[in-house]
Amino acid sequence: MRITWVTRSFLDYRIPVFEALDSFVGGNFYLIYSTKWTPVRTKNKVGSLLGYRAIVLEGEKNIGSVDTTGFANSAVGVAYQPGLYRAIAKTSPDVLIADGFFQWTVPAIAYRILKRIPLVVCYERNFHTERNSQRYRTAYRKFVMRWIDAMCCNGKLCGEYVQSLGFPAARITYGHMVADTASLGNSIAKVTNKQISELKTKYYLKGTIFLYVGRLIPLKGLIELLNAWKEFGGSISADEATLLLVGDGPQRQECESFCSQNSLQNICFAGAIDYDGLAPYYKAANVFIIPTLEDNWSLVVPEAMACGLPILCSKYNGCWPELVHPGENGWVFDPLDCKDVLQCLKACTGNRDRLPQMGERSKVIVGDHTPLKAAESILRACKIAMARR
């Protein structure tokens, strides 16, 4: 079986999935992607893995508005990549994989129609992320499903949404979205006590350390978290807890101003940290928190779990049914309900002795969501698609 995966962009977590797929098909895995949206470090990694079979395209053209909020369906834009259809044809695939319905998937659908090559779509959205989906988007998805032979959804909530559009449950597999758990585990093992000590001194980290890793944008619910922290901070001593925010983005100034205006204590802004340098931050933390208002499947959650952290997860994060078991390896909360957020923060400080045990449980749970298992699920979808040929 020769597989060609068409993806506009990807990050480091996909590399081990590509590697496993390539192994399954005996070196007959091809990847076509955009140089515009993929970081240099990731391009170097996939280039070393696949060589000439990693095909990078340049010159993408965009028409329409650009999303600056992060919320799904908040912008209307079309991406056109010259030469994409020809690049697909040159790989002579037995089966195609594409991400989602729009953007670079359109030429893949065209190839499916014209050449009758089976098509698998890896999909992430769910009812919550698509609550504001325009009618034309939904109509388009339902229309093109006739040419999609199989789908690999990231989780239960995604599968429920896909089936609501009319896609058969028998042609759905699950679990394509996973973190690079093995690499993270190795990185964590190499972190020294000296590094942890230096990190705690640098950011004045005290007590129970709550860690957030991600973009500083409205979608992530940071103002909502800070608003709850305002009440939380008033109920604990100055040495009892610290909130460490790792990342950058257009909302950073607003978040810092909110902290200053409300005299919030024990909140540290670390700024952007390269993916390969995150391990010490995960190792220094006691619990990971993600207050997102909308996410398909936050990869930082399984990353934090692989690093042995319990999780405080927003109920608007599509990954929670599979990854966060309330009271077992974390808690699920509504970031729009300040009292609910506050209750979870207090649950962590009140159960600090249990946090290491809960973190170990996170490792066990995320062990069912590895790159190898993701590749196996995608391969099953490919076989389902091939059977319809």
pLDDT tens per residue across span 223-282 = 999 999 999 987 777 789 999 999 999 999 999 999 999 999 899 999 999 888 999 999
pLDDT of residue 265: 85
- pLDDT of the residue at 271: 96
- Is residue 237 located within the same domain as residue 314? yes
pLDDT confidence bin for 72, thresholds 50/70/90: confident
Same-domain check for residues 257 and 295: yes
79 and 103 Cβ atoms separated by less than 8 Å: yes
Question: Between 76 and 318, whose confidence is greater?
Answer: 318
**More confident position, 71 or 34:** 34
| Per-residue pLDDT at 290 exceeds 80 | yes
Strands of the sheet containing 172-174, edge to edge, are 54-57, 29-34, 3-6, 95-99, 119-123, 150-153, 172-174
Q: Residue 275 is inside which H or E element, if any?
A: none
Model pTM score = 0.91
- Averaged pLDDT of the chain: 93
Cβ atoms within 10 Å of 363's Cβ, excluding its own: 16
On the question of pLDDT at 310 being above 90, the answer is yes
| Contacts with 246 (C-beta within 8 Å, 6 or more apart), sequence order | 211, 212, 213, 214, 270, 271, 272, 273, 278, 281
Question: In this structure, what token pair is assigned to residue 169?
Answer: 């449950």
Q: Are residues 309 and 202 in the same domain?
A: yes
Amino acid identity of residue 332, one-letter, is: V
Per-residue confidence (pLDDT) for residue 102, from 0 to 100: 86
Determine the structural domain holding residue 18 and report its residue range: 3-178+370-387
Say yes or no to pLDDT of 75 above 80: no
pLDDT for 324-370, tens place per residue?
999 999 999 999 999 999 999 999 999 999 999 999 999 999 999 99
Same domain, 173 and 191: no
**154 shares a domain with 221:** no
Share of the chain above pLDDT 90, in %: 86
Torsion of CA 189, 190, 191, 194, to 10 degrees: 130
- DSSP letter, residue 295: B
Q: Are residues 19 and 85 in the same domain?
A: yes
Q: What is the mean pLDDT of residues 181-209?
A: 91
Return the C-alpha torsion angle 156, 154, 63, 217, nearest 10: 80
Average pLDDT over residues 147-164: 97
Considering the domain architecture, whether residues 14 and 152 belong to the same structural domain is answered as: yes
Give the whole-angstrom CA distance, residue 357 versus residue 361: 6
Q: What is the pLDDT of residue 67?
A: 58
DSSP assignments along 3-67, one per residue? EEEE-S---GGGHHHHHHHHHHTTS-EEEEEETTTS-HHHHHHHHHHHGGGEEEE---EEEE---
d(CA 258, CA 183): 36
More confident residue, 80 or 153: 153
Report the percent of the chain where pLDDT is more than 70.
98
| pLDDT of 68 strictly over 60 | no
Give the pLDDT band of residue 73 (cuts 50, 70, 90).
Answer: confident
Whether residues 333 and 223 fall in one domain: yes
pLDDT tier for residue 300 given thresholds of 50, 70 and 90: very high
CATH number, domain of 70, equals 3.40.50.2000
* Whether residue 194 is found in the same domain as residue 165: no
Q: Residue 389 — very low, low, confident or very high, per pLDDT cuts 50/70/90? A: confident
| Number of alpha carbons in the 13 Å side-chain half-sphere of residue 168 | 10
Domain count, the chain: 2
Tell me, yes or no, whether 140 and 215 share the same domain: no
Please give the structure tokens belonging to residue 385: 């698609």
Question: Is there a single domain that holds both residue 166 and residue 19?
Answer: yes
Helix (H, G, I), strand (E, B) or coil at 287: strand
User: Are residues 189 and 132 both part of a single domain?
Assistant: no
